[in-house]
Amino acid sequence: MTQIFWKKLKKPIFCLAPMEGLTDAAFRFIVAKYGKPDVSFTEFTSSDGLCSVAKDKLFENLIFDKTERPIVAQLFGTNPDKFYDAVRIIEKLKFDGIDINMGCPDKNIVKKGAGAALIKTPDLACKIILATKKATNLPVSIKTRIGYDKIVTEEWITYLLSTKPAAITVHGRIKTEMYKGKAHWDEIAKVVLVRDKMKSKTLIIGNGDIQSLDQAYRKMEETKVDGIMVGRAILGNPWFFNKKVKKENLKRKEILDVMVEHAYLFEKLFTNKKNFASLKKHFAAYISGFENSKRLKIELMNCTNADEVRKVVNRQVSIL
pLDDT tens by residue, 30-85: 999 999 999 999 999 999 999 998 888 899 999 999 999 999 999 999 999 999 99
| The pLDDT of residue 2 | 41
| The pLDDT of residue 54 | 81
- What Å distances lie between residue 66 and 25, 93, 246, CA to CA? 11, 12, 25
Q: Which residues are catalytic?
A: 104
| The pLDDT of residue 3 | 53
| % the chain with pLDDT above 70 | 98
| The pLDDT of residue 259 | 98
The parts of the chain modelled with pLDDT lower than 70 are 1-3, 318-320
pLDDT tens by residue, 118-140: 999 999 999 999 999 999 999 99
| The pLDDT of residue 292 | 84
Predicted TM-score (pTM) of this structure: 0.95
